[in-house]
Amino acid sequence: MKLLKKVMLALAGFLITVTAYANTPNLDNINDRGILRVGMSTFVPWAMRNKQGELIGFEIDVAKRLAKDSGWRVEFVPTAWDGIIPALLAKKFDVIIGGMSITEERAKSVLFTTPYSHSGVQIAANKELANGFSTFADFNSRRVKIAARRGAFTVQIARETFPKAKILQFDDDAQAFQEVLNGNAHAVIASSPKPEHEVIKHRNVLFLPFDERLSKGNEAFAVRLGEDDKKAFFDNWIQARTEDGWLAQRYEYWFSTLDWMNQVAQGQ
């Protein structure tokens, strides 16, 4: 009974917020058009294509639920990760919902909402090339090649953690992992749980050299600087979906299980 009351209060609070922010300048365009345009990039399990070519994943669930709760339709705008902030600033879409980690550098260009998920960064290594590697010092060598997705927070983590290593950058996580699977790089750094999932899929080739993640982070929506009303609206939605347990439930499904794996198209 207490849980039901809590959920109802959260929903009531969000409905009040929808009304309160319905006529603000930065939300007017979305309300008038009736469509929320979401900038995102594909990387498992945040956003990816299923075997029918449709977008699925944690971010897709989040964006669809946000639009539904707000009385909008949703339009996804797939964008290369290294160009996603410039595309937001150029008004190609209304918001980035794409597993974007909050960093001081990004906060100079965009306005972040309150976090809606909490993950981190992990490293997966090639068993043959990184045989015997068990310390940071083992990977911090000019002879070591580490793959990462271009424009992602993982590149920064790689450079800070392994400054001597050669960092290879790719357009998406799938290419970065393939480089390691092919034996062309010693390791790959990516947002969890991608490394953990890939190790499960390729136990004969990959392993996790460290029990602890390289970095723990918070992910948030990103809007343009000055769009405080839009941020407040999204903050209230995140609070409502956090309090009713919906965000935790979807996060559990996508990040703690592999129940969705058979839906995913090859090559991701």
pLDDT tier for residue 8 given thresholds of 50, 70 and 90: very low
pLDDT tops 80 at residue 12: no
CA distances from 143 to 101, 132, 140, 161, 188 (A): 29, 15, 9, 15, 15
Structure tokens at 237: 């939605």
- State residue 65's pLDDT score: 98
Q: Tokens 């209230």 — which residue?
A: 236
User: Which pLDDT score is estimated for 43?
Assistant: 87
Q: What pLDDT is attached to residue 257?
A: 84
205 or 24, which is more confident: 205
61-108 pLDDT, tens digit each:
999 999 999 999 999 999 999 999 999 999 999 999 999 999 999 999
Domain annotation for the chain: domains and CATH numbers: 2-116+220-263 (3.40.190.10), 119-216 (3.40.190.10)
Q: Is 8 exposed, middle or buried (0-12, 13-18, 19+ CB in 10 A)?
A: exposed
The pLDDT confidence band at residue 29, using thresholds 50, 70 and 90, is confident
Residues 6+ apart with CB under 8 A from 87: 39, 77, 79, 93
Cα radius of gyration rounded to whole Å, the chain:
19
pLDDT tens string 44-69: 899 999 999 999 999 999 999 999 99
Of 108, 119, 182, 194, which Cα lies nearest the Cα of 149?
194
Structure tokens at 229: 């009303």
Tell me what pLDDT residue 266 has: 83
> Tokens for 91?
């008004």
pLDDT of residue 268: 75
Q: Which residues pair with 122 in a beta bridge?
A: 190
Taking alpha carbons only, the member of 188, 213, 257 closest to residue 101 is 213
Q: Which residue has the higher pLDDT, 43 or 13?
A: 43
Give the mean pLDDT of 162-188.
Answer: 96
Q: Are 165 and 129 in contact, with CB atoms under 8 Å apart?
A: no
Count the residues in the chain.
Answer: 268
DSSP 79: -
Q: How far apart are CA 106 and CA 109, in angstroms?
A: 5
Gap between the Cα atoms of 91 and 83, Å rounded: 12
Tell me: the pLDDT tens digits for 193-243? 899 989 988 999 999 999 888 988 899 999 999 999 999 999 999 999 999
Coil vs helix vs strand at 169: strand
- Percent of the chain whose predicted confidence (pLDDT) is above 90: 74
Q: What is the pLDDT of residues 30-45, one digit of tens each?
A: 999 999 999 999 988 9
pLDDT of 24: 77
Query: What is residue 21's three-state secondary structure?
Result: coil
Residue 9 has pLDDT above 50, yes or no: no
